[in-house]
């Protein structure tokens, strides 16, 4: 009897069962503010599975936003010194540009609200986490819960491979679409694992490193072929003192990880199968063909050529360079827009002629808000990075450096995953909040000493 794709998809939604044991373990005896954060993480990491079981992802994200607001105002106090003066100044400037861009741009009030929700709630989440009064026990429970949510994506990826094979749909339990999340999630996990590998040197972390590479490949994402070796080199650059054993490990991990990715990626080996042969000549020819296709198609489909397109089309439009087209202009303005142009990437392509490459975070912001907003937006993140860097050392310092390296890679070279509401933004801004939290000193010690897996 033939099994329908719809039945397989609904059945795959049962992977949410993998998340239940670790979720129950976390919520036992958790404080309310910590529990709220745990609910946010559960909803983000279960979004894809819940959608297959009939729970609309729009409602999922709305519920997360409501919880973020409740959490933020549950810890907010005007006297708590939540932000430095530099942070307040930058946020004020960002708000100023949002207002001016809206007044002189083309977006509606509805689109403005969508933009503020998309960008602003990430900041609210960060400051919410930064001001939770963690006990050491509650932080440990939360930390293990988050790690567990990452780890269960690995067995789920094997189930996905069995059900559907390799493809951009069904990204663990996290999403039913948006394969780029696979790469970003993998790079966050790899950033943490690299710090454990280089500081602890245990085999189990190396095993998990390669398992997460496998997770990325099941999402049909070839970017890890470039980003993972680059991330290893970044780790090497930031290691102030390095032992021979560490150096040897780094030197070996780059070629081994490259060969592993090529062999398990069907599109990158001649046999087009998982665990095919290793053929550098085939890979070079494959990327040359991809480059040729990009040159002969819509230039905005290429993540590299799209920058030249934006430069040529904006250089003689000072208003668009300074203020963009308006906050939220990339979102359909109601049902009529969706009927006429489609939604998501189709909307950008049909209304503005912008292809796949224009999804890059910096271009996504630039098109809507202009150059100055992008500069101050990135400056805000740099201030947060410097603030955290001055608080931590050792393996925590390496991790935060790698995490921000992943953030910049994604924003400038890959996608807008660190802006869009997903498990990526929930994880990234929560981690920033952890490190900004004044109760995090003991947690840093815990992170340095614990064996979590």
Residue 114 has pLDDT above 90, yes or no: yes
Mean pLDDT of the 275-295 span: 76
pLDDT at 291: 62
Q: Where is pLDDT greater, at 96 or 82?
A: 96
pLDDT at 231: 94
Q: For residue 354, tell me if it sits in a domain.
A: no
How sure is the predictor about 434, in pLDDT bands with cuts at 50, 70 and 90? very high
Q: For residue 12, tell me if it sits in a domain.
A: yes
- Within 8 A by CB and 6+ apart from 83, the residues are 91, 127
Q: pTM for this one?
A: 0.90
Q: Are 67 and 39 in contact (CB under 8 A)?
A: yes
Mean pLDDT, the chain, whole residue set: 85
Structural domain of 162: 5-293+367-449
pLDDT at 23: 75
Mean pLDDT of the 219-237 span: 88
How sure is the predictor about 4, in pLDDT bands with cuts at 50, 70 and 90? low
How sure is the predictor about 354, in pLDDT bands with cuts at 50, 70 and 90? confident
How sure is the predictor about 453, in pLDDT bands with cuts at 50, 70 and 90? very low
Least confident of 195-209, 288-302, 374-388: 288-302
Which residue stretches of 272-370 are H helix? 280-295, 305-314, 318-323, 335-341, 345-347, 361-369
How sure is the predictor about 80, in pLDDT bands with cuts at 50, 70 and 90? low
Q: For residue 323, tell me if it sits in a domain.
A: no
Q: For residue 307, tell me if it sits in a domain.
A: no
Which residue stretches of 179-300 are H helix? 180-200, 203-218, 224-238, 244-264, 280-295
Q: Where is pLDDT greater, at 164 or 96?
A: 96
pLDDT at 435: 93
Quote the CA–CA distance of 400 and 378 in Å, as a whole number: 16
pLDDT at 19: 83
How sure is the predictor about 302, in pLDDT bands with cuts at 50, 70 and 90? low
Mean pLDDT of the 159-164 span: 84
What is the count of structural domains for the chain?
1
Q: For residue 332, tell me if it sits in a domain.
A: no
Quote the CA–CA distance of 184 and 46 in Å, as a whole number: 17
Q: For residue 399, tell me if it sits in a domain.
A: yes
pLDDT at 178: 66
Mean pLDDT of the 50-74 span: 92
Residue 1 has pLDDT above 50, yes or no: no
């Amino acid at each position: 009897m033939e099994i329908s794709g719809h039945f397989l998809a609904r059945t795959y939604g049962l992977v949410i069962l993998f998340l239940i044991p670790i979720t129950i373990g976390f919520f036992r005896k958790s404080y309310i503010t910590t529990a709220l954060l745990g609910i946010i993480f559960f909803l983000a990491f279960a979004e894809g599975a819940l959608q297959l079981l009939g729970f609309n992802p729009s409602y999922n994200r709305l519920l997360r936003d409501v919880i973020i607001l409740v959490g933020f105002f549950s810890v907010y106090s005007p006297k708590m010194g939540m932000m430095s003066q530099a942070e307040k100044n930058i946020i004020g400037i960002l708000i100023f540009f949002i207002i001016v861009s809206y007044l002189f741009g083309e977006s509606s009030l509805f689109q403005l609200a969508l933009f503020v929700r998309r960008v602003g709630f990430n900041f609210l989440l960060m400051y919410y986490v930064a001001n939770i009064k963690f006990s050491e026990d509650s932080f440990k429970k939360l930390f293990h819960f988050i790690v567990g949510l990452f780890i269960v994506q690995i067995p789920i990826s094997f189930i996905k491979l069995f059900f559907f094979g390799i493809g951009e749909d069904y990204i663990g339990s996290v999403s039913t679409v948006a394969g780029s999340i696979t790469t970003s999630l993998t790079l966050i996990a790899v950033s943490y694992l690299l710090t454990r590998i280089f500081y602890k040197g245990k085999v189990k972390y190396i095993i998990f490193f390669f398992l997460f590479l496998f997770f990325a490949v099941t999402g049909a994402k070839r970017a890890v072929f470039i980003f993972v070796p680059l991330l290893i080199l970044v780790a090497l650059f930031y290691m102030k003192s390095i032992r021979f054993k560490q150096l040897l490990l780094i030197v070996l991990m780059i070629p081994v990880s490259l060969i592993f990715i090529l062999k398990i990626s069907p599109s990158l080996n001649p046999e087009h199968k998982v665990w095919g042969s290793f053929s550098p000549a085939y890979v070079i020819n494959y990327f040359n063909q991809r480059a040729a296709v990009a040159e002969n198609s819509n230039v905005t489909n290429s993540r590299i050529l799209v920058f030249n397109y934006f430069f040529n089309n904006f250089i003689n439009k000072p208003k668009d360079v300074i203020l963009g087209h308006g906050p939220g202009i990339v979102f359909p303005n109601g049902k009529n827009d969706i009927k006429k142009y489609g939604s998501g990437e189709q909307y950008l392509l049909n209304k503005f002629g912008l292809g796949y490459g224009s999804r890059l975070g910096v271009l996504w912001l630039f098109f809507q808000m202009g150059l100055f907003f992008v500069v101050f937006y990135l400056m805000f993140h740099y201030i947060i990075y410097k603030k955290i860097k001055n608080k931590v050392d050792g393996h925590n310092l390496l991790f935060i450096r790698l995490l921000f390296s992943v953030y910049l890679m994604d924003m400038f070279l890959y996608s807008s995953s660190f802006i869009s509401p997903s498990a990526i933004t929930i994880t990234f801004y929560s981690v920033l909040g952890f490190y900004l939290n004044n109760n995090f000193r003991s947690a840093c010690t815990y992170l340095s000493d614990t064996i979590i897996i």
